[in-house]
Amino acid sequence: MTIRVGIAGLGTVGGGVLKVLAADAAHLAARAGRKDVKVVAVSARDKAKNRGVDLTSIAWEDNPIALASRSDVDVVVELVGGSEGTARELVSTALSNGKHVVTANKALLAYHGPELAAMAEKANVALKFEAAVCGGIPIVKALREGLIAYEISSLRGILNGTCNYILTEMEATGRAFNEVLGEAQRLGYAEADPTLDVGGGDTAHKLALLASLAFGTLPDIDAVDVSGIQNISPADIAFAAEFGYRIKLLGIAKRTSDGIEQRVHPAMVRARTPLAAVESSFNAVEVKAGEAGPFLFQGRGAGEGPTASAVVADIVDVARGAVSPAFGRPVAELKKPEKVMREGRISAYYLRFQVLDVPGVMASVSQHLADEGVSIDSMLQRGRSPGEAVSIVMLTHEAPHIAVERALKAIAASDKVFETPCMIPMETA
């Protein structure tokens, strides 16, 4: 029997899916145990655009929602994007009509995953989203199926290739964030509006999905504490290297006594460790799973080839008859995650102060930290510039986040401090 596919969205990923299915149809059908895996209908904004694939034998729908009602479509592939509007209507209509859905839309699932997963369960169809997180890395399948025999205690990873590219280039060239961001936009690594990437939102969407799969919780974007890389300077990157660290934007989820902690932020990662070694636009996820762990999953996190391959893998899974709960467990069994507030978090920290080089400044900074019970592990000060601004950099021992924040607020109130102090958590484990 042929598995019939309808694709909404023929951008980079959608075009890649068409190419893979056209080039490897016989091989994929054999792997799926089907006569054929065939694209029968598509929809996109521009019908005239050349996508490098012959579409003359494929039905065209101007309205993507129509794919969800076609009697000759078994699987709807949603590559439109966005958490609302067309994408949400297409997926919900397809599921209501008893069609399997494959999507690369992490925002849609981060905000509406439980609702859509429940619809899929009711209709006894698949809702698959391997391509939504880390492109070609099979991390969704690993968490949903491969690691179910182990209790996962934590996961952390580099989930956004744009941010990793920017931080890698800043480190290699010494250039400032805005300059490297502009280059990333020209090269196509960053969007014209990069806010979702550099602000940490894209990583948060992906983390919410991974945490759900790992810990049996409802995906809840509001439970994720988020900050981005916009304020990371070349000086921070250089100082990190002197201490033996690299700065990475991490998504982190872990079990704690207070609940499932979910956070996205720049972190100091010890150099020459697997996560620190991830370069450019690559992604990686480290999973600690009992006696079996840690596991490291690494690969290209975006782009036509990797993401299209993940979409096709999900289509083949559907063709094989793989229908299981989208988040690994029935929605009714998923628990709402408790938001673990950053104030109660305990970590060591990298701190950088831009201060006036006059007697007593160092003593004042140290005293404010001591007043909050924050002890200094090591410190750097480069040169002397009497009467001018200099950097003081410290690594602290572990301390409550709220205590460090209070100390920094008091330090920043001084007229001898010229910038908001920089505070970056250390990921030393």
CA 197 to chain centre: 9
Q: Which tokens belong to 330?
A: 């029935």
| Residue recorded with tokens 């592939």 | 77
Give the residue among 305, 303, 334, 295 at the shortest CA–CA distance from 113: 334
Distance CA 149, CA 151 (A): 7
Q: Please identify which of the residues 106, 206, 248, 288 carries the catalytic annotation.
A: 206
Q: Is the pLDDT reported for residue 24 higher than 70?
A: yes
Same domain, 146 and 287: yes
Q: Where are the alpha helices (DSSP H) in 188-303?
A: 195-198, 201-215, 234-243
Are 403 and 373 in contact by the 8 Å Cβ rule? The answer is: yes
Regarding beta strands 282-289 and 295-300, do their DSSP bridges make them parallel or antiparallel, or are they unpaired? antiparallel
Query: Which residue segment(s) compose the domain that 402 sits in?
Result: 343-427
Evaluate whether residue 371 is within a structural domain: yes
Same domain, 37 and 149: no
Same domain, 257 and 281: yes
Same domain, 115 and 201: no
Decide: pTM greater than 0.85. yes
Looking at residue 202, its pLDDT comes to 94
Same domain, 273 and 214: yes
Same domain, 264 and 360: no
Distance CA 321, CA 25 (A): 18
Same domain, 63 and 106: yes
In this structure, how many other beta carbons lie within 10 angstroms of the beta carbon of residue 214?
Answer: 28
Q: Which tokens belong to 364?
A: 């004042």
Q: Is the pLDDT reported for residue 2 higher than 80?
A: yes
**Residues 6 or more apart from 388 whose CB is under 8 A from it?**
356, 357
Q: Is the pLDDT reported for residue 429 higher than 80?
A: no
Evaluate whether residue 158 is within a structural domain: yes
Which CATH number does the domain housing residue 118 bear?
A: 3.40.50.720
pLDDT tens digit string along 366-407?
A: 999 999 999 999 988 876 666 678 889 999 999 999 999 999
Q: Give the C-alpha distances (Å, rounded to integers) separating 413 from 41, 365, 389, 422.
A: 62, 11, 16, 14
Distance CA 334, CA 330 (A): 7
Looking at residue 383, its pLDDT comes to 63
Looking at residue 387, its pLDDT comes to 65
Looking at residue 49, its pLDDT comes to 84
Q: How confident is the model at residue 28 (pLDDT cuts 50, 70, 90)?
A: confident
* Sign of the Cα pseudo-torsion (253, 297, 120, 16, in order): positive
Q: How confident is the model at residue 343 (pLDDT cuts 50, 70, 90)?
A: confident
Evaluate whether residue 338 is within a structural domain: no
Which CATH number does the domain housing residue 209 bear?
A: 3.30.360.10
Q: Which tokens belong to 121?
A: 């369960």
Looking at residue 385, its pLDDT comes to 67
Regarding beta strands 36-43 and 100-103, do their DSSP bridges make them parallel or antiparallel, or are they unpaired? unpaired
Q: Would residue 339 show up in a list of annotated catalytic residues for this protein?
A: no
In this structure, how many other beta carbons lie within 10 angstroms of the beta carbon of residue 429?
Answer: 11
Which CATH number does the domain housing residue 362 bear?
A: 3.30.70.260
Q: How many domains is the chain partitioned into structurally?
A: 3
**Which of 65-79, 88-102, 317-331, 379-393 is predicted least confidently?**
379-393
Distance CA 48, CA 213 (A): 40
The SS3 assignment for 383 reads: coil
Same domain, 124 and 145: no
Q: Give the C-alpha distances (Å, rounded to integers) separating 98 from 59, 65, 406.
A: 20, 14, 54
* Sign of the Cα pseudo-torsion (13, 303, 224, 148, in order): positive
Evaluate whether residue 52 is within a structural domain: yes
Looking at residue 376, its pLDDT comes to 94
Looking at residue 252, its pLDDT comes to 96
Q: Is the pLDDT reported for residue 101 higher than 90?
A: yes
Same domain, 207 and 285: yes
Distance CA 381, CA 363 (A): 13
Q: What is the largest CA-CA distance in the chain?
A: 82
